[in-house]
Amino acid sequence: MIYYNKTTQETLDAHQVSMNGLSTEGVRSRQQQYGFNELQEGKRKTIVQLFFEQFKDFLVIILLIAAIISGFLGEFESTIVILVVVILNAILGTVQHLKAEKSLDSLKAMAAPIAKVLRNGQVVEIPSREVVVGDILQLDAGDFISADGRVLQSYSLQINESSLTGESLPIEKMTDAINEDEVGIGDQKNMVFSGTFVTNGRGTILVTSIGMQTEIGKIANLLDSAKEKKTPLQVSLDHFGKRLAFAIIVICIVIFALDLFRGRELVDSFMFAVSLAVAAIPEALSSIVTIVLAFGTQKMAKENAIVRKLHAVESLGGISVICSDKTGTLTQNKMTVQKVYIDKREIPHNELELNNELQNKLLVMSLLCNDSVTADEKEIGDPTEVALVNFGKVYGLDELVVRAQFKRIGEVPFDSNRKLMSTVNQFGDKTYMITKGAVDVLLSRIIKIETSNGIVEATEQQFEQIRNANQSLSEQGLRILAFAYKELSPKQQIDMNDEQDFVFVGLVAMMDPPRNESKQAVADCISAGIKPVMITGDHKITAAAIAKQIGILNDPSEAIEGREIEKLTDEQLKAKVENISVYARVSPEHKIRIVKAWQEKGNIVAMTGDGVNDGPALKQADIGVAMGITGTEVAKDASSMILTDDNFSTIVKAVSNGRSIYNNIKNSIKFLLSGNTGAILVVLFATLFALPAPFAPVHLLFINLLTDSLPAIAIGLEPHNKKVMKDSPRNIKEPLLNKSFTTQVGLEGLLIAAVTVIAFQIGLSTGDSVIASTMAFATLCLSRLFHGFSCRSKESIFKIGLFTNKTTWLAFIMGAILLHVVLLVPALMDIFEVAVLTGMQLMTIYGLAFLSFAIIQLCKLIFIRK
């Protein structure tokens, strides 16, 4: 069917006047006027901006102030050590962000690279970024559309708008005028939109909008209203960091004042206080978390999940709701024949018998009354027709071979008003019209029915059986086409008036089927305490059928449509949201409301999607998950994570990894805080009892730089534990640093402090304060290295395996070697202010350090078993 706009020629003539000789500068001017560059390029931060953003952490600011003061006092060694730690942390964060963005760039393939444009009277190919308002675009089957435009000519032009509407079925386009202000995107039959693609036919369009003025751009503007949020761990650590810094500063001021009161030199007292602050403030906390997350993201990338926002990894472990788009996410985004109704039988698509004449006839007819082609792994044509071609290939029938055998000699193209398509094919010396179309339309034109016993006159009872079969298939979410035929006289010319008096053959039912792995992925979510929710722009019946197949929907009452959401206030939706599993025919605004409703009930929400219409909800969600293959650029840019395989089950793996990573981060933090607590308690003990300083400033800096970071990183790399998916999502209202956690930190820190004080007292008994501080320093270092093994898990080291994490052994060995280099190499002994120790004193240090480890392991064996 050809649609032609009466004003097309005038439009083309005017276009030649306005576009002839348009310079490169003119193109750029028009692009800038319509916001093209803002949409295409985005606003990316420079490396310098990213680097300096790493210094916003409150603890880092405190340390920078300490470094500056140390420099003014001439203690450049301390200044350098502090700056090295802080700068390394900033570099790590910057590099990881850039790596994630680089991975994202390699996935961006949504924009059409080439556009066919009418310039100077000729059709030329130009980069899609050079398209401007006023251009005339030529569209053919398979083309992506790079701008919004009005249809001037349509030759059976059909457009797939699933990236905008979520509807997988194509929309036929024509030139009939429609008021765009009163209809939705899918109803604008005379408009095409950027980011969609041509599935069938060809056409000519006049470009009316580019860049931010397109429908893509309008939806992208919604992203500004969905603000990005800090993850629960970020919020917890920010609050804790400020409180900890304040407490440590107060302690350091008290110790500084007591030292001055006892007659110690001002500079010495100040540097000791600064060194204690540096040792006590876990400035490595931020860098350790960053490193653990970075390693976690690398592992996840190997499993097809690219994390764009580093701190989003820990939120994955807390996800309690996954709101998933249907088309292309839970389904294959590919129409596939599921069942056939023929001769009063409903037959699965893979159980046809080609030696059955009637069944074979239906299959051949579905290939003949069909314009789609599949070749070289490319599928061109209407998705429903492609499904019929693929159906034939299941039985070894090639559409081109069949069409060559039964040549087409006439046709009446599909018309959305008629809802029918007819072809005339030559079968030997006979000529037949084959027609397919909507069941209700075609049934009204049937006079006979072909059965296994031959052709019989159609009766009302037979019509009722066909209608019941159609109803049954529809309730399964299937799209049904009816097939019929009639014999024509040779060389008979046909038109729409000939589409009547048919012989009914059968029904073919198809759908966009679920991915093979979706059902298991949904089951894994449910067993892990995660609520899967389907949100789609598709029809309610179709969505409910898919959701029921994969286990999301149990009760039909749990499925509603967008128009029902519009009748609910935010409070009503919030009250009802937990009882709804499927949302159909929803708009971008509906998706945001649904996500917010779950969030307001205290849930961490993941939203998956691939279309432009998913972008705002992806950004609103705690974790936005975009599809890497079928996903639009807007969806990817709005997301926290991108799936390179578009596989829903990859999300479940990511959640599992997120839970393990969160546990590892928690254990690393426990290691840092308990060790620092031990150091503070030792200093407080010495200060309160007027004892000599247990540590020199250089001791504290050594501990901070070497025995903090290495074991903490090793703990963060603890292998994945599959048991984490047997637990429910953690309560996001419960902070990381809760009562139980802080109690463990306090008790373990007290134990480390106790063995260190014992070593210090043994050293003081020799009458030499340098030996005492050396023994305290060595015991604290070594006990913290042993403590790294204890912090790997809440279970005993013997339960999880002594050698399952080789990096903890590497950290222990490196730390122990560096400690002994300081203790035993004469050239370093003066620099690090340590004394020569006897063999017995070294053995005492080893024994006390191991004692703290042994006590903790014994407690775990006793209490965890209970």
User: Which residues are the active-site residues?
Assistant: 325
Residues 827 and 842: their CA atoms lie apart, in Å, by 19
Give the pairing of strands 502-511 and 479-488: antiparallel
As a whole number of Å, the end-to-end CA separation of the chain is 77
Burial class (CB in 10 A: 0-12, 13-18, 19+), 147: buried
DSSP state string for 309-344: STTHHHHHTTEEEEEE-IIIIIB-SS-EEEEEEETT
Where does residue 73 rank: exposed (0-12), middle (13-18), buried (19+ CB within 10 A)? middle
* Distance between CA atoms of residues 522 and 508, nearest Å: 29
The DSSP 8-state label assigned to residue 719 in this structure reads P
Q: How far apart are CA 609 and CA 631, in angstroms?
A: 7
**Containing H/E element for 583?**
strand 582-584
Distance CA 523, CA 530 (A): 10
Q: How many CB atoms lie within 10 A of CB 571?
A: 10
Instruction: Tell how far CA 221 is from the center of its chain.
Output: 20
Assigned token pair, 30: 């028009």
Query: 743 vs 385, 685, 748, CA distance in Å?
Result: 66, 20, 8
Q: Nearest-5° angle of CA 131, CA 135, CA 137?
A: 85
Structure tokens at 624: 């936005």
Is residue 378 classed as helix, strand or coil in its secondary structure? strand
Radius of gyration of the chain (CA): 35
Tokens representing residue 425 in the block: 């094919």
Tell me which residue of 425, 289, 288, 290 sits closest to 369, measured CA to CA.
425
What is d(CA 738, CA 49) in angstroms, rounded to the nearest whole number?
A: 34
* 726 φ, ψ (degrees, to nearest 5): -90, -10
- Kindly list the distances between the CA atom of residue 285 and the CA atoms of 80, 85, 86, 716, 741, in Å, as whole numbers in the listed order: 19, 11, 11, 12, 16
Which three-class secondary structure state does DSSP give residue 710?
helix
CB atoms within 10 A of CB 179: 8
Q: Residue 81, CB half-sphere, CA atoms under 13 Å: how many?
A: 20
For 431-449, letters b (16+ CB in 10 Å) and e give bbbbbbbebeebbebbebb
Distance between CA atoms of 484 and 433, rounded to whole angstroms? Answer: 8
In which element (H, E) is residue 534 found? strand 531-535
566-574: long-range contacts at Cβ-Cβ below 8 A with a sequence spacing of 24 or more? 566/590, 570/596, 570/597, 573/597, 574/600, 574/601
d(CA 464, CA 476): 19
Cβ-contact 108, 633 below 8 angstroms: yes
Burial 574-592 (b: 16+ CB within 10 A, else e): beebeebbbbbbbbbbbbb
Identify the CA nearest to 678 among candidates 767, 791, 770, 769: 791
CA distance 11 to 775: 91
